């Protein structure tokens, strides 16, 4: 494990534009190495009690150099089994949405607010969010994305709270672009519904598809490349 708190290493690395070595070691850590270091911390994390009931932690996955990050809520049954984000039924729909805007899992980064599955897929508790989100913050610092797409109430609420945007629920917040600065990086936040909502309601499926089209239009206008 890294000897200094991870966040300070990451801040140090990026403050000095990755030109300076860390810990006096003559190696410059790549984004991938830094993300792996975050994942290593998550794997041994015991800050809340979810490690007791989970099968596998789900640190998140995808491109370390992606300019777009998707943030969900917490691992469910299949994510817990496989240790990967969005691999259950909601994940299949998420793949469809990504494909519709020309992306795949490999060229984006996908993570969650909580890295371990809450028992019976219950909602995250405030204490769990507080203890787990420093890992997400580290991932944001490392990746420095241009866009963060928040999927559902929990990730949108968390990201809005970081930039002191008032949050009145995903129904009011979704489908709009919020230009903001998070952890020292200029980021456009685009909230939409959680893909699982589409499994229960055709209305949410349609809204999600519409939101992804809006996002696609914006990215096309900006000649955005991941």
Interface with ligand URA by CB under 6 A: which residues?
A: 72-76, 79, 85-86, 88, 90-91, 112, 196
Q: Which two tokens stand for residue 199?
A: 């499994």
Residue among 60 and 175 whose Cβ is closer to ligand URA: 60
Nearest-approach distance from CB 200 to ligand URA, in angstroms: 13
Residue for token pair 């979810």: 50
E-only strand ranges, 39-115: 61-62, 68-72, 109-112
* For ligand URA, the closer CB: 91 or 191: 91
Q: To the nearest whole angstrom, how small is the minimum distance from the Cβ of residue 165 to ligand URA?
A: 21
Q: At closest approach, how far in Å is the CB of 9 from ligand URA?
A: 26
30 backbone dihedrals φ, ψ, rounded to 5°: -80, 165
Phi, psi at 160, each rounded to 5°: -60, -40
CB closer to ligand URA out of 70 and 147: 70
Nearer to ligand URA, 92 or 203 (CB): 92
For the CB of residue 82, give the shortest distance to ligand URA in the complex, in Å.
Answer: 10
Q: Is 129 left (phi over 0), alpha (psi -120 to 50) or beta?
A: alpha
For residues 79-98, one letter each, b for 16 or more C-beta atoms within 10 angstroms of the residue's C-beta and e for the rest, the string is bbeebbbbbbebbebbbebb
The residue at minimum Cβ distance from ligand URA is 72
């Amino acid at each position: 494990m890294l000897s200094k708190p991870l966040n300070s290493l990451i801040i140090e690395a990026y403050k000095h534009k990755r030109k300076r070595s860390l810990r006096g070691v003559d190696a410059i850590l790549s984004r991938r190495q830094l993300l792996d270091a975050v994942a290593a911390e998550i794997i041994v994390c015991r800050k809340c009690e979810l490690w007791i009931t989970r099968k596998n932690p789900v640190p998140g996955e995808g491109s370390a150099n992606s300019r777009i990050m998707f943030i969900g809520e917490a691992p469910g049954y299949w994510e817990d089994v496989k240790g990967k984000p969005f691999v259950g039924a909601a994940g299949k729909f998420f793949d469809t949405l990504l494909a519709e805007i020309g992306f795949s899992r490999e060229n984006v980064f996908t993570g969650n607010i909580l890295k371990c599955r809450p028992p019976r897929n219950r909602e995250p508790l405030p204490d769990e969010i507080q203890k787990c989100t420093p890992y997400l913050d580290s991932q944001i610092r490392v990746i420095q994305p241009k866009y963060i797409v928040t999927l559902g109430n929990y990730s949108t609420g968390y990201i809005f709270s970081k930039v002191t945007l008032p949050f009145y629920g995903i129904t009011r917040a979704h489908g709009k672009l919020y230009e903001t600065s998070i952890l020292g990086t200029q980021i456009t936040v685009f909230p939409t519904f959680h893909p699982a909502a589409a499994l229960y309601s055709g209305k949410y499926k349609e809204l999600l598809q519409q939101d992804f089209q809006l996002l696609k239009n914006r990215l096309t206008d900006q000649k955005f490349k991941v």
